[in-house]
Structure 1
Amino acid sequence: MKLDIIIFLCCFLVSSAAYSESPLRLHDLAARNALHMRAVSVPSSTKTASSSRSSITSSFASVSASETSSPASGSGPPIGDASSTTNSASMTASASTGSSSISVDPRSPPGGVSMITPAITASQTYIKVGDYATFSWNYTSLIVTPSAVNVEAYCSINNYYYPIAENLTVKDTQVVWNTSGYQETATIPLLVAEYTLYIYDASSNPSAVASPGCLAPYDNLNFGVYTPQAYTPLNNYQCATCSASFSLIERNVLRGTLAMSLIACLFTVLFMMR
């Protein structure tokens, strides 16, 4: 009886072991199939990810290339530091342009000229044709610098401006007028008359009204110009402006007449005293 029970238990254990082994084998088979499927699917996803990364990299490279080439080709707005550099360059240009302009207070007086030679306080100035005449001056209250300055002598008899110097800079404040050289080559010669010295902006005219800070035409110096005459002996000299004067013979006759009158008066007085 005991032997039968032992045999039954052994058979039961053997059959249960076989039954439990088959599900494990089936489970292992299913697990292996799942791992195989995963192994097959992983490379495809990896390839997909790699291809997407490649496309992203290529698109980024194309975008970078277009951004790099866009400033060089001139198409499209500058980016990054290029914009700030452009702005800085434009600001510098505008600053340099703005520095060339001069702001003048409208209440400022016009610029003027202060004569040094000849001095305004001196007596009448005369210039002999054939001599060198010197004019020197300083500028006063001058804010806007003229590009060129003209110096001329105006004669009211023929209403002509005789050029002394043209296109001077503001640094040239002295001129020497060669009246002899001018008289020899002039189409309109110098007259014996009174002249007015003009110093004015070459871009303007002698009668212009100057703006504040600009050079006003100067016309406060008058001088005479005369031509020397050849030497004439006193006996042959005749004064053109002395028509009422006596000649030498007339003066001698007058002296004789006065002498005779004095002698006659003297004898008359002596006769009466007797």
Structure 2
Amino acid sequence: MLLRGLGAGLAAAGVLAAAGPTPTPTPTQVRRADDDAQRPAGGISITEPAVNAASSYYKIGPHESVTFGWSFTSLTATPSRLFVAASCSQNGVTYPIAASPTGLPGDATNVTWYPYGYHLQALQQGHPDLLAAKYRLLVYDEKGPDAGAKGGEFQPNNQAEFALYFPQHYTPLADWTCGSCNDAAPARDSSVLLRLGALAGAAALGALLL
């Protein structure tokens, strides 16, 4: 009976402890929360390609790599991982550059991409191929590309744009044709030259007769 009563007393004490008042945040905790709320959202500033520069065009070709760079701004903590992708509005496809789950270390400040390698892999595995089009660079952390802005925390960045193009094959001059040229142009040019020659001859003849 004594043991049973002691067990009941401990159980009752446990219930009372669980239902006790919530600890009041210390002044330091409250001050830190207020400071975080007033801080601007953290993130990155794209340095390559420059956001205010003209569109950057990169070739999809062998041995042609693309480097994207950035610097960190207003962060109170470094992200665990960073992930990078390229979004094409023309076909609605987002192409991985540094994809989940590996991505990049949270303190990385650049990434190098080999578009031609992705192009070959897409052809072999049936994935959406790259287009000769404009792309938007996406950089985000482990919270995802749609994470909201919070003071001091990493905010996804999609400010940089760039374009990709496929190089044209070499065409020998003997095989080249001008699509905008008119076959009648040489004949028209010849007739103009003949008229100019006739006018010059008449002028010379008139000078001799004077």
Q: Same fold, TM exceeding 0.5?
A: yes
**Structure exhibiting the larger radius of gyration computed from Cα positions:** 1
Deviation at residue 254 of structure 1 after TM alignment: 3.7
* Structure 1 counterpart SS, 2:198: helix
Query: Bigger relative contact order, structure 1 or 2, given CA contacts below 8 A and separation 6+?
Result: 2
Q: Which residue among 108, 119, 134 is the counterpart of 1:194?
A: 134
- Structure 1 vs Structure 2 CA RMSD: 2.6
Deviation at residue 252 of structure 1 after TM alignment: 3.1
Query: How many residues of Structure 1 are paired with residues of Structure 2 in the alignment?
Result: 170
Q: Which residue among 44, 49, 57 is the counterpart of 1:113?
A: 44
* Structure 2 counterpart SS, 1:135: strand
Deviations 1:55-106 (A, max 9, x none): xxxxxxxxxxxxxxxxxxxxx9xxxxxxxxxxxxxxxxxxxxx99xx74521
Which residue of 1 is the match for residue 194 of structure 2?
Answer: 260
Deviation at residue 223 of structure 1 after TM alignment: 1.0
In the alignment, is the contact (CA less than 8 A) between 1:148 and 1:203 conserved in 2?
no
Q: What is the 5 A alignment of 1:89-100?
A: none
Deviations 1:184-205 (A, max 9, x none): 1121111000111111123222
Deviation at residue 132 of structure 1 after TM alignment: 0.6
Deviations 1:17-56 (A, max 9, x none): xxxxxxxxxxxxxxxxxxxxxxxxxxxxxxxxxxxxxxxx
CA distance in 1, matches of 2:167, 2:57: 12
Q: Which residue among 134, 144, 158 is the counterpart of 2:67?
A: 134
Deviations 1:208-262 (A, max 9, x none): 43222122221221111000121012353356xxx6x215x54433432232121
AA aligned opposite 1:266: A
| Identity fraction in percent | 35
AA aligned opposite 1:256: S
Change (3 A) 1:254 1:234: farther
Q: What is the 5 A alignment of 1:6-17?
A: none
In the alignment, is the contact (CA less than 8 A) between 2:81 and 2:106 conserved in 1?
yes
In the alignment, is the contact (CA less than 8 A) between 1:142 and 1:213 conserved in 2?
yes
TM-score of the superposed pair, with normalisation by structure 2: 0.70
CA distance in 2, matches of 1:202, 1:159: 23
Q: Which residue among 153, 162, 180 is the counterpart of 2:86?
A: 153
